Structure 1
Amino acid sequence: MEQITSTQNSKVKAANKLKKKRERDKTGQALIEGYHLIEEAMASDIQIVSLFCVEADREDAAMLEYADAVYEINLKVAELLSGTVTPQGIFAVIQQPTVQDRQPSQVLLIDRIQDPGNLGTLIRTADAAGLDMVVLEKGSADPYQDKVLRASQGSVFHLPIIQRDLHTFINDFEGPVYGTALQDAVAYQTVEQQDKFALILGNEGEGIKSELLEQTTQNLTIPIYGRAESLNVAIAGSILIYHLKG
Structure 2
Amino acid sequence: MKFIESIKNQQVKQWKKLLTKKEREKTQTYLVEGFHLVEEALKDKNNIIEIILSEDIEIPVTWDIQQLSLTKITSEISKAISDTETTQGVFAICKMKQPSFQTLKGKSFLLIDAVQDPGNLGTIIRTADAAGMDAVILGEGTVDLFNPKVLRSAQGSHFHIPVLFGRLEDWIQKFNQNQIPVYGTSLENGVSYKQVEPSSEFALLVGNEGNGVSMDLLSLTKNNLYIPIIGQAESLNVAVAAGILMYYLKV
TM-score, normalised via structure 1 length: 0.95
- 2:162 corresponds to 1:160: yes
1:96 deviates by 1.7
1:89 deviates by 0.7
Instruction: Answer whether contact 2:119 2:153 (CA < 8 A) is retained.
Output: yes
- 2:209 corresponds to 1:207: no
Distance 1:122 1:2, change over 3 A: same
Instruction: Answer whether contact 1:133 1:159 (CA < 8 A) is retained.
Output: yes
Partner of 1:12: 12
Partner of 1:80: 80
1:64 deviates by 6.5
Tell me whether 146-155 or 173-182 shows the greater mean CA deviation: 173-182
CA distance in 1, matches of 2:67, 2:94: 9
Equivalent position to 1:129, from 127, 131, 138:
131
Instruction: Answer whether contact 1:114 1:203 (CA < 8 A) is retained.
Output: yes
Tell me whether 42-51 or 139-148 shows the greater mean CA deviation: 42-51
TM-score, normalised via structure 2 length: 0.93
**Which stretches in structure 2 are left out of the alignment for 5+ residues?**
none
Show the 5 A alignment for 1:1-246: 1-55=1-55, 58-60=58-60, 63=63, 65-66=65-66, 68-102=68-102, 104-173=106-175, 174=178, 175-246=180-251
1:206 deviates by 1.2
Structure 1 runs (4+) greater than 2 angstroms displaced: 44-47, 60-68, 100-104
- What is the aligned length? 246
Instruction: Answer whether contact 2:56 2:75 (CA < 8 A) is retained.
Output: no
Q: Deviations over 1:123-176 (max 9, x none)?
A: 001111111111111210111110111101100111111111000110110311
Q: Deviations over 1:55-86 (max 9, x none)?
A: 47721356463463211111110111111100
Instruction: Answer whether contact 1:64 1:70 (CA < 8 A) is retained.
Output: no
Instruction: Answer whether contact 1:107 1:131 (CA < 8 A) is retained.
Output: yes
CA distance in 2, matches of 1:121, 1:144: 13
Instruction: Answer whether contact 1:51 1:67 (CA < 8 A) is retained.
Output: no
Instruction: Answer whether contact 2:127 2:243 (CA < 8 A) is retained.
Output: yes
CA distance in 2, matches of 1:201, 1:67: 41
Tell me whether 2-11 or 191-200 shows the greater mean CA deviation: 2-11
Q: Residue type of the partner of 1:214?
A: S
Q: Secondary structure at the match of 1:131?
A: coil
CA distance in 2, matches of 1:181, 1:212: 11
Distance 1:215 1:57, change over 3 A: closer
CA distance in 2, matches of 1:29, 1:36: 19
Task: Compute the RMSD of aligned alpha carbons.
Answer: 1.6
CA distance in 2, matches of 1:198, 1:28: 28
Instruction: Answer whether contact 2:181 2:203 (CA < 8 A) is retained.
Output: yes
Tell me whether 50-59 or 156-165 shows the greater mean CA deviation: 50-59
